[in-house]
């Protein structure tokens, strides 16, 4: 039967790809850092317009009132994220199970370590990252809409990319990359 031979070849390719995953990572050296504020402009001009994955991280400054809300439980971040001023927005939610994992490092996070925040994919990295930051809160497209979240102003974010310009990006490569990084990085917002 031809499917057995095809299945064996696909399994061989998947095994090879999984071995290579450990040597693939985001371009953290060229991350873009920004402080969420009313004065935020398009800081992302250097981001590729190619396709791939992007990864947002968040840092809580020592002076932030968010520290007191989090206290010692990351699950409290949901009340910050779903604040009454943005409750009506279409946006990804806080993942409780990932918050449980984040709680194991909450001391480090409250001391300024970068918090894995959101992982996504796009056909145009530059455009999608800009949408997550500047998209109008009334848009029905899912996005973080960070600029509209005035209750998060003062928090520091950084975004890193992994450009994947490959012919079989969506069909074969993306599902494995996204699952690999979601399990490895454990972002608290999103799928």
Question: What would the pLDDT profile of 141-183 be if each residue is shown by its tens digit?
Answer: 778 889 988 888 888 999 999 998 887 777 778 888 888 899 9
Q: Is the pLDDT of residue 88 over 80?
A: no
- With a threshold of 0.85, does the pTM exceed it? yes
Report the share of the chain in percent with pLDDT over 70. Answer: 94
Q: What is the mean pLDDT of residues 86-112?
A: 80
Question: What would the pLDDT profile of 59-78 be if each residue is shown by its tens digit?
Answer: 987 777 777 667 667 777 77
Least confident of 24-38, 109-123, 143-157, 170-184: 170-184
| Residue ranges with strand state E in the chain | 32-35, 52-59, 115-122, 156-163
Q: What are phi and psi of 97, to 5 degrees?
A: -65, -35
Q: What are phi and psi of 60, to 5 degrees?
A: -100, 115
């Amino acid at each position: 039967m031809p499917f057995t031979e095809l299945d064996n070849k696909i399994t061989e390719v998947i095994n090879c790809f999984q071995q290579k995953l450990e040597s693939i990572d985001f371009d953290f050296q060229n991350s873009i850092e920004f402080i969420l504020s009313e004065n935020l402009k398009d800081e992302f001009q250097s981001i590729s317009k190619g396709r791939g994955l992007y990864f947002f991280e968040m840092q809580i400054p020592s002076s932030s009132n968010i520290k007191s809300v989090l206290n010692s439980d990351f699950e409290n971040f949901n009340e910050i994220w779903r604040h009454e001023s943005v409750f009506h927005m279409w946006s990804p939610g806080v993942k409780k199970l990932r918050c449980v994992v984040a709680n194991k490092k909450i001391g480090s996070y409250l001391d300024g370590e970068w918090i894995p925040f959101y992982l996504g994919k796009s056909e145009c990295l530059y455009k999608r990252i800009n949408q997550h930051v500047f998209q109008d809160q009334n848009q029905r497209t899912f996005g973080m809409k960070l600029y509209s979240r005035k209750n998060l102003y003062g928090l520091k974010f950084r975004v890193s990319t992994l450009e994947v310009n490959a012919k079989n990006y969506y069909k074969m490569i993306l599902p494995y990359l996204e699952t690999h990084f979601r399990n490895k990085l454990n972002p608290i917002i999103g799928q």
